Amino acid sequence: MHKTLIAAACAAVLAGCAGTGPSGSASDAAVRAKAVETMKTSFKERGIAKLDRLDQDETQSVCSQYSTAAPPKEVAERIEKANMALVKPPSDGKYLGDWKRGEQIAQRGTGFQYSDTRETPVGGNCYACHELSKAEISYGTIGPSLHNFAKIRGYGPDIQKYAWGKVYNAHAYTACSFMPRFGAQGILSEQQLKDVVALLMDPESPVNK
Amino acid sequence: MRIRAWYAGAIALAAGMVAATAAVGQDAASTAQEIEKYRQALQDGNPAELWEARGEGLWKKPAGPKNASLEKCDLGLGPGVVKGAYAQLPRYFADVDRVMDLETRLAHCRVTLHGLTPAQATARPFGSPDNRSDNDALVAWVTSESKGATMNVPSAHAKEKEAFALGEKIFYFRGGPYDFSCATCHAADNTRIRLQDLPNLTKQAGAQLAYTTWPAYRVSQGELRTFQWRLNDCFRQQRFPELGFASDASIALTAFLARNANGAEFKAPTIKR
């Protein structure tokens, strides 16, 4: 089943697949299919982490092919379009929640690990990868610094909408981003998304100080 | 005896270091300094030696239904040859017609020599202070016998090539609710998560640095942790289900990372944060 899915993904973007040399070849797809098969027999469900976590959606399976390189343009455009379609605006049209709660969500790293339960509070763990407020010096560098995010880009509705969309589904703007799709994958609730967007956008937020 | 004395000291130091690492306002540089201080304080001893000594005992002592020792176990360089064996694993074993890593081979020998069932031989892959693991001890001892050896994981056999290729795909496999793969955290230079430096495992230097320094005595846990433990804990952070111990995916991923470390001097068991 997965073999066909990957083959289909490759066929749909044939130009891209062929263009990436060995990483797009038929034999490469076969190795990838075998790897998926091997993983399915090697992992065991544990707690909340069931085996269906190994079922890739199209974005995951296509992005796995490009390892560390960015996908070719046509592929990137297709992934961005498909992911943009998954971005749901807030139900009341308001993007900004409470930046103080947003800061807590940005600090929290728990959620969705097999060592967590369904009751474990889920965080966004933004600090794992980003600098945000200057007061927190324990931040990671996988993503760019977000300090002064709105101060630099502006506080207006367009930027609010971008911040919402980016946190909701990073691949809508950057295909194969390393950033989780917090809204589209159901990691954060609508309220939590608003709270972290407020952390980025509120003039009173330490991010913009 | 000597071990006793510095072990007590190590625990005191460890406690201090963990507190220092956790302290708010601690930056990466001074965390590294603390670890360096700690390493120096333990220059002529690492608590990992406790595991190594126990592992050597387990290797040599007749045990199991067959009341035999593991001394005839073939780790790839011939029956009973331990010196340097780990630096050439995972590898193809003709007697089972498959590629095995150290853990899988040890479990195999505990079945064939001790007479354990496969389930018994893999029952306790990772220890905790109140429930020790024989695997941890055996791995500590076998790896210590490769200290100073040059990593030289073979790739001549078709199945060795296949394991490497599968391991590479597993490394880049994105999935789960967070879309993570190993590459999310280990495919760029000079990145970190919070303050923990992340090795770039897609480059030889990064793979060498990481692979040759496990197993390690983990100061923050007071435990010896194996490379398999490291993989398991990263998959947990990746939001994946649990990687089966001695499973094919585990062997393949280990083969990929181990071979990328070829050419480097093996240095473990070491001591880490």
Query: Encoding tokens for residue B82?
Result: 């331990």
Chain B residue at shortest CA distance from A47: B241
User: B33 and B71 share a domain?
Assistant: no
- Which residues on chain B place their C-beta less than 8 Å from a C-beta of chain A? 25-27, 165-166, 169-170, 172-181, 183-185, 187-188, 190-195, 198, 202, 236-237, 239-244, 247-250, 252
Beta bridge partners of B74: B79
User: B24 and B125 share a domain?
Assistant: no
* Concatenated DSSP letters of B105-170: HHHHHIIIII---HHHHTS-SS-BTTB--HHHHHHHHHHHTTTTPBP-----SHHHHHHHHHHHHH
- Within chain A, what is the greatest distance between any pair of CA atoms? 55
User: B105 and B26 share a domain?
Assistant: no
Asked whether the beta carbons of A129 and A187 are under 8 A apart, the reply is no
User: Which residues in chain A touch residue B169, judged by CB atoms under 8 angstroms apart?
Assistant: 31-32, 34-35, 64
User: B91 and B142 share a domain?
Assistant: yes
User: B109 and B19 share a domain?
Assistant: no
User: B97 and B7 share a domain?
Assistant: no
User: Which residues in chain B touch residue A44, judged by CB atoms under 8 angstroms apart?
Assistant: 241-242, 244
User: B115 and B224 share a domain?
Assistant: yes
- For B214-265, the pLDDT digits (tens) are 999 998 899 999 999 999 999 999 999 999 999 999 999 999 999 999 999 9
Output A207 or B12, whichever has higher pLDDT: A207
Asked whether the beta carbons of B38 and B271 are under 8 A apart, the reply is yes
- CATH number of the domain at B241, please: 1.10.760.10
Whether residue B234 lies in the annotated active site: yes
Is A112 at the interface with chain B, CB within 8 A? Answer: yes
User: Which residues in chain A touch residue B185, judged by CB atoms under 8 angstroms apart?
Assistant: 142
Compute the Cα dihedral for B258, B264, B266, B270 and give only its sign. Answer: negative
Q: What pLDDT score was predicted for residue B34?
A: 66
User: B83 and B158 share a domain?
Assistant: yes
- Measured CA to CA, the distance from residue B242 to residue B101 in angstroms comes to 18
User: B59 and B24 share a domain?
Assistant: no
Q: Three-state SS for A85? A: coil
The pTM of the full predicted model, rounded to 2 decimals, is 0.90
Instruction: Answer whether B243 sits within 8 Å of A187, measured CB to CB.
Output: no
User: B18 and B56 share a domain?
Assistant: no
Q: What is the ipTM of this complex?
A: 0.92
User: B11 and B106 share a domain?
Assistant: no
How many domains, chain B? 2
Chain B residue at shortest CA distance from A30: B166
Sheet arrangement for strand B223-225: B223-225, B216-218, B270-272
- Measured CA to CA, the distance from residue B192 to residue B33 in angstroms comes to 17
Question: What residues make up the domain containing B3?
Answer: 1-42
Residue B227 CB contacts under 8 Å (≥ 6 apart), including other chains:
B211, B214, B215, B254
Rounded to an integer, the average pLDDT of B159-169 is 98
User: B37 and B52 share a domain?
Assistant: no
Predicted confidence band at B40 (pLDDT cuts at 50, 70, 90)? low
